[in-house]
Amino acid sequence: MDERTVKLNEFAQGLRPLVQGVEWFEGLGADEQFEILRDLGGFCIQARATVDDGPESVRLAGIRPTHTPAVLITRGQQLPAQLTKIINLPQDERVRAFRLLVALLGVADGRRREWFCAAGCTHAWHQLVRGSGPVDSG
C-alpha cells in the first residue's frame, strides 16, 4: 500500500483521529483532494458499502443530515451513482465529503472485517496498528 492508502485506512479504522485527517485534507490542492475522494469512493465500493450504511456514516462523520453529502448518501438508491455525485461536489463541500467517505469506509470495512476476516486475513489494510503508518509528511 502506498502512504496515502495507509493514511486513509488509518483514519477509517480510527487509528488516527479524523480531525488530523481533515487538517491534512484541507492542506492539499484541489486536484489531490479530488483524487483522495475518488480513492475513498473506490475503497467504499471494495469494502461493500451499502446505502444502509449512510445514516451511521453521517453520524460518525459529524456532519448534519441536511448537508449535501449526507443527503446524497442517505436518499440515493444506487450507491456507486451517489458516490460519484459526492466525489464531484463543489470545493466548498469537499471537507464534508471527505469526512463522510472516511466514515462510510470505516462502517463498511468494520462489517467486512467482522464477517469475513474475524478469524484472520491477509488484507494489508487489516494489519495496520496504531502508530504503524508512515510519519505524516503532508
Query: How confident is the model over 46-66, as pLDDT tens digits?
Result: 999 999 999 999 999 999 999
Q: What pLDDT does residue 110 have?
A: 83
Mean pLDDT of the chain: 86
More confident residue, 81 or 135: 81
Residue 125 has pLDDT above 80, yes or no: no
Complete DSSP assignment for the chain? --HHHHHHHHHHTTSS-HHHHHHHHHTS-HHHHHHHHHHHHHHHHHTT--GGGHHHHHHHHT--TTSHHHHHHHH-S-HHHHHHHHHTS-GGGHHHHHHHHHHHHHHHHHHHHHHHSTT----GGGS--TT-SPP---
Residue boundaries of the structural domains of the chain: 3-126
Residue 85 has pLDDT above 60, yes or no: yes
